[in-house]
Chain A
Amino acid sequence: MCTSALCLVCVSLLLGTSLSCYQCFVDVQDSSRLCWGHILTEYNVRNVDSCFRKLDRIFNNHERVIEAGRVGKGYDKQLKGLLDVEILPMVEEFDKKLNNDTVYEERLQTAADNFIAAASKLPRVSGCLPPCGFQSAGAVYNCITCQYDSCELPLDCPVKEIKAMENSRNQMWCVVPFHLPEDIEVIWRFAEEVKTQQVDQFKEVTAGLDTLYSIPSTSLQHVGTYQCEIYSGQRSIVRLFFYLTVTPQIVAGHTELQEIFDLSLLPGGRLLPAPGGPPRSLILNPSPLFLTACLTILLLLLFLSMGALYWSVKPEHAEQEEED
């Protein structure tokens, strides 16, 4: 009973593998050459199976090796280089020669330790550019799947709002900040009137290579959500959304009139300067305090002169009365 359980464990070790960095970068024929002369000392047989199991245990299923392999974008080539430096000389050395399993164990363990030490120093910066799109080579390298992890960003980008005047020209660009493959296809779709991201509401408008959607003269019937979807092969990479609103010409005229009217209500009926124009001098734009002071002085002068006039006229009247 005990032995059968042990065997089950052995087989699951042999076959229940989740291969990693080693299988990504080392050619299987090289492993075959490396393992050819593996001697199981216990039975003195040249057993290749157990050598491959050893590789799995030391490299492929080793959590530290997998962790060391999580390098940033573009550094998988360096990973391969590091592993080649450790493994290929061993392949040449062990080729067509018999070696005991203890020798294999020691040498492979050293190789794995060297790899972990060197690979851990490689940069680990993620190349993902949020907020959307399937960026296949974005995140860190994964030695279990032998490819870069996906950035796990949604396919759909947030809706971008665009305002346009009636009869004006309008352009929408289907561009993304991340790198796209060569063989892309762009499909533009339109959902009339509504602001939506629901796929079933869109109707296909154009399909091809054009990343620009241009409306030469925008009218009210152009109101709605535009979606551009970029494909590579049959796979969707990203979906951009533009919600276009159109301001009618009449409304625009009204708004313009209203603005002029509001401006004309300013003191003196002067129009506000154009934004960004030269600042006015102090003389041309007196402060209310200054104006009040001037007005007060003027009034004071008026009263004083009136007082002076009164006093200059009054004695004459008095003299005349005395004469009478």
Chain B
Amino acid sequence: MSQLLQAPALWIYLLLPSLLCENMRCYYSPILEKEEKFELIVTECPPDEMCFKAEGHYGNYSALSARGCMAKKTCSRVHEIRIKGIVYTMSYGCCDSPYCNTCPGVFVQPLFITLTLMTVAVMAGIL
């Protein structure tokens, strides 16, 4: 029974901020070389901005990463930046749920995670 209750609780926890129309919270990290360790901090986006994760490429080599908030319109932008005299190509990926720019790699919609967790919880409850 308790497992059955966990699922909606998780739903509420993950979706509550957006349901309450709060500004979106995202993880922030400045543009850094990938080897450089950085403790992610939480930033609050102004209205109309969403979380992003960026990758900087030097040729085929993925060298830089960054996270934070950005305007939805600029998410698909690809441009060049110069860091310590080296030119990299930056590309972005946006997501519009709180803290969605956390894990490295491909974005996973938190909805899918929630659904999976819920299914697991329900299955466990039945068993």
A11: nearest residue on chain B (CB-CB)? Answer: B74
B74 adjacent to A48 (CB under 8 Å)? no
Q: CB of B35 within 8 A of chain A?
A: no
Chain B contact surface mostly? strand
A4 adjacent to B73 (CB under 8 Å)? yes
- Which one of A47, A144, A145 lies within 8 Å of B45 (CB-CB)? A47
A19 adjacent to B41 (CB under 8 Å)? no
Query: Given that A18-B82, A144-B84, A146-B84 are contacting pairs, would A49 and B69 also be in contact in the complex, using a CB cutoff of 8 Å?
Result: yes
A4 to B74, CA, bound (A): 8
- Chain B residues with Cβ below 8 Å from A17 are 31, 81-83
Interface size class, chain B: 20 to 34
A36: nearest residue on chain B (CB-CB)? Answer: B41
Query: Given that A4-B73, A7-B74, A11-B77 are contacting pairs, would A47 and B43 also be in contact in the complex, using a CB cutoff of 8 Å?
Result: yes
A15 adjacent to B28 (CB under 8 Å)? no
- Which one of B44, B77, B85 lies within 8 Å of A145 (CB-CB)? B85
Q: CB of B17 within 8 A of chain A?
A: no
A18 to B30, CA, bound (A): 13
- Chain A residues with Cβ below 8 Å from B47 are 43
A48 adjacent to B41 (CB under 8 Å)? yes
Query: Given that A28-B36, A45-B44 are contacting pairs, would A7 and B73 also be in contact in the complex, using a CB cutoff of 8 Å?
Result: yes
A19 to B36, CA, bound (A): 16
B43, B69, B71, most chain A CB atoms within 10 A: B43
0/1 string, A1-29, CB within 8 A of B gives 1: 00010011011101111110000000011
A14, A42, A49, most chain B CB atoms within 10 A: A49
A49: nearest residue on chain B (CB-CB)? Answer: B68
A15 to B30, CA, bound (A): 9
A15 adjacent to B90 (CB under 8 Å)? yes
Query: Given that A12-B79, A18-B82, A47-B46 are contacting pairs, would A7 and B69 also be in contact in the complex, using a CB cutoff of 8 Å?
Result: no
From residue B44, how far is it (CB to closest CB) to chain A in Å? 4
- Which one of B31, B41, B46, B84 lies within 8 Å of A15 (CB-CB)? B31
Q: CB of A118 within 8 A of chain B?
A: no
- Chain B residues with Cβ below 8 Å from A46 are 43-44
Q: CB of B38 within 8 A of chain A?
A: yes
Q: CB of A31 within 8 A of chain B?
A: yes
- Would you list which residues of chain B between 62 and 109 have a CB under 8 Å from chain A? 66, 68-71, 73-74, 77, 79, 81-85, 90
- Which one of B23, B38, B46 lies within 8 Å of A29 (CB-CB)? B38
- Would you list which residues of chain A between 167 and 206 have a CB under 8 Å from chain B? none
- Would you list which residues of chain A between 39 and 67 have a CB under 8 Å from chain B? 40, 42-43, 45-49, 52
A43 to B23, CA, bound (A): 9
Query: Given that A31-B30, A49-B68 are contacting pairs, would A40 and B41 also be in contact in the complex, using a CB cutoff of 8 Å?
Result: no
A4 to B41, CA, bound (A): 28
- Would you list which residues of chain A between 118 and 156 have a CB under 8 Å from chain B? 142, 144-146
A18: nearest residue on chain B (CB-CB)? Answer: B82
Q: CB of B15 within 8 A of chain A?
A: no
A112 to B38, CA, bound (A): 25
Q: CB of B32 within 8 A of chain A?
A: yes
- Report 8 cross-chain contacts, Cβ distance below 8 Å, ordered by A residue: A15-B31, A17-B81, A32-B38, A47-B46, A48-B43, A49-B28, A49-B68, A142-B85
Q: Which 8 A-B pairs have the closest CB atoms?
A: A48-B43, A45-B44, A145-B85, A7-B71, A49-B68, A48-B28, A43-B46, A11-B74
